[in-house]
Structure 1
Amino acid sequence: MNPLLLLLMVLAIIASLFYAPGWLLAPLKWFEVFFHEFSHGLAALLSGGDILRVDLQFGGSGTCHYRGGFRPLVAFAGYAGASLWGLAIYSAAAALNKRTAHLLIALLLASLALVALLWARDLETWLILLLMAGILLLLLRHGEQSLLKLAVEFIGLFILISSIQSPLFLRYVQGRGDAADLRALTGIPELVWIGLWLLIGLTALLMVLRNGLRARKARLV
């Protein structure tokens, strides 16, 4: 991607997160929340636990209910995982051609279907997953390669930047959220966990920007 366009997209997403009305951002927030909760669930499974159900709300929040597993890892994985998913989706989209574009969309649809079939338990969650799938199918069916590539890059960037912004609000809701859970589990203050999530997210964002500049230089050589 052109570095200037990439920078403009980053700035636009940051501005939208602070100034755009919530209803306008809701479909994009669903993607970030989905990968946040999906990361909690994967961490539970990988550490020997089970996912009981995943709940998503139209307002842009969600919960992953699980049993067992290594609880500090599960609690930490939400924001960290969303940042890494955002980086992975953006990076994959940046290298797309027509065939791999379809493959990436298919993988995203498969992850939605997996959660819908195995762990969704309420109508609101099913509707959100269906709407997310509809957005991806619309892009797949009607998007030209350049538009499809740009749209998926934007979704990946939004997930990444939103996962950087979201932990900042935990400063104002002490006693609730993943940072509070980690403090209760480990005794380490909430601000330390928030700082770690910010470090992971900002590092991922810097990787995106650096790779964009490298790609630009490679084309000029």
Structure 2
Amino acid sequence: MNKIKKHCAVPFAHPSRHFPVAQQHGMTIIEVLVSMLILGLGVLVLLATQLRTAAGVREAEQQTIVSQEVQNLIEGMLANPTLSADNTSGSTGWTKKSYAAYINRNNSSGTISASSTSMSKQALADAQINEFRQALTSRMPNTHINSTICVDSSGAAPTATGTNIAWNCDNNGSTTMVKVIWQVATDKGNNNNASGITMNGDRAVYTYQARITD
């Protein structure tokens, strides 16, 4: 009599059934936390980039405003020079130009209008300087802006320390310069030094200067 062998099927163990449920949940939470961390870092980098871009755009806009107003002032100065005889060797008969009426006029006043009566050279110079400074103030609100016109052969930019401004004019030679300095309040203090911005306390300092040339 043949013996019938019975084979019992051995159940196949699925690999995933050997991972504890708690371990699967732990890996999911870690992945979420890592994703949130990466997302947060990306947002911070994006915000920092936008802030730097906004600051750069603002600085470029202010530089453009200052250069435009300085150019307008220079055009007026070129039309109102102080003339004197040039007695240097080989220059007999030529007229020498200077802008003495504009030099260091820190308390200038007056305006220019079509109905104005005839003005002296000095009164015209003072009115031009006054209108120049008013234009800078109105076009650049929320800034501390100052300007001067001086004789300077060094080309050194003005500097600000506290409430004091050093124009760095050496009063040598015959080169007339228009110098402008303005300060913008920031919330970073001296930390901006690392980005190449000159600071005066909590204010970023910017300068512009132009030479008067015929």
Give the TM-score, by structure 1 length: 0.26
Kindly name which structure, 1 or 2, has the bigger radius of gyration based on alpha carbons: 2
Q: Which has the higher strand share?
A: 2
Q: Which has the higher helix share?
A: 1
Give the TM-score, by structure 2 length: 0.27
